[in-house]
Structure 1
Amino acid sequence: MPRPRALLAALVPLLAVIGLSSPAQAASWPPPAPVVSKVNTTDPVVFITIDDGWYHDPAAAQILLDRQVPASLFLLPGATSYDTGYFRRLVDHGPSRIENHSVSHPDLTTLTEQGQRAELCGARQQHLSRFGLEPRLTRPPYGSFNEQTRTAARACGSKAVVTWTHDQTTWGSWTPPAPQLAAGDIVLLHFTESLASDLTRVLAAADAAGLKPAPLRDYIAD
């Protein structure tokens, strides 16, 4: 047998042990994370996601805790640094989880893959140091991503790049109409002054559709 074939035969078992099946796959390690804008499920569930974290409204936090909403909190480290206790209360007394939204909220597609890894791995490390909890999902700022984003997200500990099905954030004087929610929809909100009313509207829409908020992490495979 020619030596290259012998070398390949020797490599295959080793690659299988680490989850790869060919040298070509090894060259592209880590594999890019999948992109999820809606979960394919027949379970009567909907997913609440809340971005950024700059405005810390006690009324919004109370809704999340009273309803025990398992929200995915895609936070910026700078937005948590001056009031860590606000978010600590949400994860210590409710089912919400902290996820990755980058360090400085850039359009990741304008950065090199190294720059994207610095943004996502940097945010992961800051959240892990501050809360002792590892983000497992990534939301790219503005919903903007490319293949490098998907690879960087995986390299920085995320199992998916998450966008959304419905944006329900009130911006200025414009309030979006109540959504017609379906099973598996992902709702985007933000930590703004309107979060309490936005949450109330979305949760009412979920109730009307017979849907229950569920933990997004649990519906995305590792």
Structure 2
Amino acid sequence: MSRPRLYRTLRGVLAALVPVALFGALAGSAQAVPAAPAAGWPDPVPVVSHVETTDPVVFITIDDGWFHDPAAAKLLLDRRVPASLFVLPGAYSYDSGYFHTLLDHGRSRVENHTINHPDLTTLDAAGQRAELCGARDQHLAEFGDGPRLMRPPYGVYNEATRTAARACGAEGLVTWTHDLTTWGSVAPPTPTLKAGDIILLHFTETLEQDLKRTLDLAEQAGLKPAPLREYVAD
């Protein structure tokens, strides 16, 4: 083959190969781009165990709701305590009037604590949504006021919990600064409270005395109970 003819043949082969190589390079680059998050996937809610504030306030939260102590309810109403009630639907299914009184005549608000009180980290995303959205729907149907905060049972959560909370209408995942519940014969701590502390109590037989002790500690620290929704919810 003559040299000019050989050159023409090589140019033809290269002309055919270059587009193929470029296409392969572009395809490889496209595959390296990470996939974007699914559209509409909610951002996880913030986690709050203490509110950063200079206001002289403390936040009282009460969990579960099984024991309905009239004396504790009277104290909440008489002292106009703006408590956040993280109650379970089953706890008001047999006596909703107890909580209606606290909501209708006091400053308390019902928040989300799931339906069945599971360790949410043992459930997949769908299971967590079922617990949180189900509790939201039952609260809304019973009280006409949907929860805006959620507390995971046992204070245990993962990223799926934070996302499920947002999907089910919550604006914050709340844990606590101090648990001042009386558990059996063990005396609860008596910490020096600071502005922004979140206090955990429970609807137990000792709720009235736990509330009195908490209110006394707040007064000693120059703090007043405030509505948690106003400081955490968007």
Q: Which band: TM-score by shorter chain?
A: 0.7 to 0.9
CA distance, structure 2, for counterparts of residue 131 and residue 24 of structure 1: 39
Q: What does residue 87 of structure 1 align with?
A: 99
Does residue 192 of structure 2 align to residue 177 of structure 1?
Answer: no
Q: What does residue 8 of structure 1 align with?
A: none
Is the Cα contact below 8 Å between 1:179 and 1:202 reproduced in 2? Answer: no
TM score, norm. by length of structure 1: 0.88
Assess, with a 3 A threshold, how the Cα gap between structure 1 residues 40 and 26 changes in structure 2: closer, same or farther: farther
Does residue 90 of structure 2 align to residue 74 of structure 1?
Answer: no
Is the Cα contact below 8 Å between 2:149 and 2:233 reproduced in 1? Answer: no
SS in structure 1 opposite 2:204? coil
Q: Matches of residues 103-182 of structure 1 in structure 2 within 5 Å?
A: 103-182=115-194
SS in structure 2 opposite 1:50? strand
Q: What does residue 229 of structure 2 align with?
A: 217
Does residue 51 of structure 2 align to residue 39 of structure 1?
Answer: yes
What is the CA distance between 1:193 and its match in structure 2? 0.2
CA distance, structure 1, for counterparts of residue 233 and residue 135 of structure 2: 22
CA distance, structure 1, for counterparts of residue 37 and residue 60 of structure 2: 34
* Same amino acid, percent of matched pairs: 72
Does residue 189 of structure 2 align to residue 189 of structure 1?
Answer: no
What is the CA distance between 1:179 and its match in structure 2? 2.1
CA distance, structure 2, for counterparts of residue 154 and residue 218 of structure 1: 17
Q: Deviations over 1:13-63 (max 9, x none)?
A: xxxxxxxxxx94654720000000000000000000000000000000011
Is the Cα contact below 8 Å between 2:148 and 2:233 reproduced in 1? Answer: no
Is the Cα contact below 8 Å between 1:139 and 1:161 reproduced in 2? Answer: yes
TM score, norm. by length of structure 2: 0.83
| Higher alpha-carbon Rg | 2
What is the CA distance between 1:184 and its match in structure 2? 0.2
Q: Unpaired segments of 5 or more residues in structure 2?
A: 1-34
CA distance, structure 1, for counterparts of residue 191 and residue 97 of structure 2: 32
Letter in 2 for 1:135: P
Q: Unpaired segments of 5 or more residues in structure 1?
A: 1-22
Letter in 2 for 1:213: P
Letter in 1 for 2:126: Q
CA distance, structure 2, for counterparts of residue 177 and residue 109 of structure 1: 28
Q: Deviations over 1:87-114 (max 9, x none)?
A: 0000001110000000000000000010
CA distance, structure 1, for counterparts of residue 190 and residue 220 of structure 2: 11
Q: Matches of residues 3-18 of structure 1 in structure 2 within 5 Å?
A: none
Q: What does residue 57 of structure 1 align with?
A: 69
CA distance, structure 1, for counterparts of residue 147 and residue 36 of structure 2: 29
CA distance, structure 1, for counterparts of residue 114 and residue 153 of structure 2: 7
Q: What does residue 60 of structure 2 align with?
A: 48
CA distance, structure 1, for counterparts of residue 197 and residue 145 of structure 2: 25
CA distance, structure 1, for counterparts of residue 162 and residue 36 of structure 2: 18
SS in structure 1 opposite 2:111? strand
